[in-house]
Amino acid sequence: MTNRANQIAGAAQAAPAKSRRRGRGFDRQAAIVALLFAAPAFIMYAAFVLVPLGMSVFYSLQRWDGIGKMRFVGLNNYLIVLTDSDLLQVIGNAFLLAAWFTLIPVVLGLAVAAAIREHLGGPFGTVTRTILFLPQVIPLVAAGIAWSWMFANSGVVNQTLRGIGLEALARGWLGDFTFALPAVGIIGAWVLLGLCTMLLVTGITKIDPSLYEAARLDGAGAWDEFLYITLPGLRQELGVCVTVTVIAALASFDIVYIATGGGPGIQTTVPGLEIYRLAFAHRQVGLASALAIFLMVLVLVCVLPIQWLTRVRR
């Protein structure tokens, strides 16, 4: 009996050890399988993101025309980016454009989303969302060309101003040193308005309707509902909208290139367009790469605080 009891006790002690070994073996196999599934995506990411990023950093430390021999200059290209008055104005233009790209779509998107909240499932809500989202599916090149015609001296904007007796305000908007950048900002705001509205409308559908019912029973008005229920409930969606619009402004190229080409002067030139010019027109690949890396850091510096501020804390 004693030997039998010892055998049973020994088997009982060995079982957890075998189970742990089997568990470790299973975890190892699962990790290998997961790595195999992730490998193709990582290879593509490395080939099209990490390697070009590394090459850009390398080029940014060189003086190179894209053809001849490279010459190592260290951080000199970054120093030029931070001290050259024209490049600083180009960076400033991006921030001014970000204000237009962000404020108008987010504010108007909030207003539209709140206005159609009670009609989201009806025909009115469907038609409104479709009309507002149309600019998002139009190629940016086509949008830039269309708005260039509208802002021209004989375009719809000036014809409307003349028709209502405001002929003194009519001008070539995209060729005016004062109004060219706001005009480009309006084009970008029009393009992004539909996306922001759709994101905010989707966010509103996740807010519990009983909160609005309770607020009405307590005598709250439409403004109170918006301020204390809708706005806090859309915190994450607002973060996404601001993030997307800021990135679109800082990395803009298509609309500016088509609408103004960066003019008049450099009034509407943005970093994306300047990088293209430096690399392919002026053959300053090192400086263009330094500006590109600086732009990437700038985007991260702007976006990360927005993500942190709009994160829902539990």
pLDDT, one tens digit per residue, over 85-131 is 999 999 999 999 999 999 999 999 888 888 777 666 566 667 777 77
The model's pLDDT over 31-72, given as tens digits with 9 standing for 90+, comes to 888 888 889 998 999 999 999 999 999 999 999 988 889 999
pLDDT value at residue 256: 92
Please report the pLDDT score of residue 2 as a whole number: 55
What's the burial of 135, exposed, middle or buried (CB within 10 Å: 0-12/13-18/19+)?
A: middle
Instruction: Give yes or no for a contact between 106 and 164, defined as CB atoms under 8 angstroms apart.
Output: no
Residues 141/258, Cβ–Cβ less than 8 Å: yes
CA distance 60 to 285: 8
Ranges of beta strands (E only) in 88-159 are none
pLDDT-derived band at 25, boundaries 50, 70, 90: low
- Please determine, for residue 12, whether its predicted confidence score (pLDDT) is greater than 50: no
pLDDT of residue 30: 81
Taking 60 as the threshold, does the pLDDT of residue 310 lie above it? yes
Tokens of 184: 């480009």
Average pLDDT over the chain, rounded to whole?
A: 85
Alpha helices in 46-75 (DSSP H): 51-60
Cα Rg for the chain, rounded, in angstroms? 28
Q: DSSP string spanning 157-179?
A: HHHHHHHTT-GGG---GGG-TTT
Q: Which two tokens stand for residue 159?
A: 């014809």
Sequence-separated contacts (24+) of 9-14 with Cβ below 8 Å:
none
Higher pLDDT, 254 or 115: 254
Amino acid at 84: D
User: What is the predicted pLDDT for the residue at 207?
Assistant: 85
Band of pLDDT at residue 140, cut at 50, 70 and 90: confident
pLDDT above 90 (res 227): no
Residue whose structure tokens are 């994101």: 199
Where residue 206 falls among pLDDT bands split at 50, 70, 90? confident
Quick check: 268 pLDDT over 90?
A: yes
- What percent of the chain has a predicted confidence (pLDDT) above 70? 88
Q: Which residues are CB-contacts of 99 (< 8 A; sequence separation ≥ 6)?
A: 185
pLDDT digits (tens, 9 = 90+) for 144-188: 899 999 998 888 999 999 999 888 888 889 999 999 999 999 999
In contact, 286 and 59? CB cutoff 8 Å: yes
